[in-house]
Amino acid sequence: MSRLTRTVAALALTCAFVVACSNSDNQQQTSPSSNKPLEKVTYLTSFGNFGRDAYAWVAKDKGFFREVGLDVDIKPGGGTGDNISKIEAGAAMFTPVDLTGLLLARGNGGAKSIVVVAGIQQRTMAALISLEGNGIATPKDLEGKTLADTPGSVVRNLFPTYAKLAGVDATKVTWVNGAPANLIGLLASGAVAGIGQFVVGEPTVESVAKGRQAVVLPYSDVMSDLYGNVLVTTTKIAREQPDLAKRFITALMKGLVHSIDNPDEAGRILQKNVQASAAAPAAAECTLMSAFVRPEGSGAAVGTIDTERVSRSIKLLQDADAMPAGLSPDQLISAELTPKP
């Protein structure tokens, strides 16, 4: 074989290798069910990166988003108020927010471009969490204490209503600001007597508190009709990209079911993707969340929203003077996009 022949052969092999690598890279950016490029979607978790939000990472890690042609970028959220602001500003396309917090925001003139497209938790998980030895065993014990939460948190914004229904003088409770990642540390260090949290945060709190037992005061004790987190997007996306929204909802709900059915795996997936997280507490949160996603005896299918319950929630908030009259479920919930029973 001449030198020229060997050179041409080598160049041909090189080109073939480059083309193969290029094709491989392109395949990684296309849907497995078609040759179409994956569509980019941005998503905020509800609040930081705890086990309660592992289902989004599960949907991504297990390929559920890719199966429906989506490439999802997951970022940590900062709570209901902050997440609503970021969705409206276009910083993300989808996020879970607490439905009660959204009702309060909408009822008082905000969140006008936000629409609910699926339910995450069929009962509210909002709660106050303290530690044994802090002098808090009942709601009345909150008086005279200092609590911490983010300013836009639904736990904090709903507290006046909770206090009124639980017989607590809200003016005797002091609130200080805390970032999502720092709240549990503030509680464990003794800087505050309690924090705004979700019920499922109990294992994580006890893990950080190193042996001290958590004291949980669930808001659902006095507000049983309230939903927990719901998935929201903008009215523009719901109107102009309903197919994308439906595919995202389907994949996310698949991740939600998988995470509560396989909590240990969900915890490992979260830790793999978010190094600051711990698998065991995350798995424990997923286990606890199962009762809120599929409440025993409720008959509610995963992802569904009962508008009659939402109507009762609105009335409860109005009766507590937390919001004015005039809001109805159809103004806020997409009948077209929410999963059907």
Q: What is the 3-state secondary structure (H, E, C) of 161-208?
A: HHHHHHCCCHHHCEEEECCCCCHHHHHHHCCCCEEEEEHHHHHHHHHH
pLDDT at res. 153: 85
**C-beta separation of 46 from 101 below 8 A:** no
Q: Which class for 280: exposed (0-12), middle (13-18), buried (19 or more C-beta within 10 A)?
A: middle
Phi then psi for residue 120, to 5 deg, are -105, -55
pLDDT for residue 29: 64
Give the tokens for residue 70: 């989506």
Question: Which residues have C-beta within 8 Å of that of residue 324, sequence separation ≥ 6?
Answer: 107, 108, 318
For residues 164 and 211, what is the distance between their CA atoms, to the nearest angstrom?
33
Looking at residue 301, its pLDDT comes to 84
Q: Please report the pLDDT score of residue 16 as a whole number.
A: 45
Alpha-carbon distance of 303 to 273, in angstroms, equals 25
Q: What is the pTM of this model?
A: 0.82
Written as one letter, the residue type at 284 is: A
**pLDDT at site 171:** 97
Q: Does 126-222 carry CATH code 3.40.50.1980?
A: no
Integer Cα distance of 302 and 312 in angstroms:
20
Burial tier of 325 (Cβ tally within 10 Å: 0-12, 13-18, 19+): exposed
> In which residue are the tokens 């939460």 written?
149
The two beta strands, 146-149 and 174-177, are parallel
- pLDDT tens per residue, the chain (341 residues)? 444 344 444 434 444 443 444 444 444 567 666 678 999 999 999 999 999 999 999 999 999 999 999 999 999 999 999 999 999 999 999 999 999 999 999 998 999 999 999 999 999 999 999 999 999 999 999 999 999 999 878 899 899 999 999 999 999 999 999 998 899 999 999 999 999 999 999 999 999 999 899 999 999 999 988 999 999 999 999 999 999 999 999 999 999 999 999 999 999 999 999 999 999 999 999 999 999 999 876 667 899 999 999 999 999 899 888 899 999 999 999 999 999 98
User: How far apart are alpha carbons 189 and 317 in whole angstroms?
Assistant: 34
The answer to whether 178 and 150 are in contact (CB under 8 A) is: yes
Tokens of 140: 């009345």
**What stretches of the chain show up as alpha helix (H) in DSSP?**
3-28, 54-61, 64-67, 80-89, 99-107, 154-166, 183-189, 202-208, 235-240, 242-261, 263-273, 279-293, 307-319
Residue 34: predicted pLDDT:
64
With a CB cutoff of 8 Å and minimum separation 6, the contacts of 211 are: none
Q: What is the pLDDT of residue 19?
A: 40
| CATH 3.40.190.10 applies to domain 39-123+227-331 | yes
Helix axes 307-319, 99-107, angle to 10 degrees: 60
Closest CA to 55 of 234, 207, 259: 259
Give the residue range(s) of CATH 3.40.190.10 domains in the chain: 39-123+227-331, 126-222
Instruction: Give the separation between CA 80 and CA 225, rounded to whole angstroms.
Output: 19
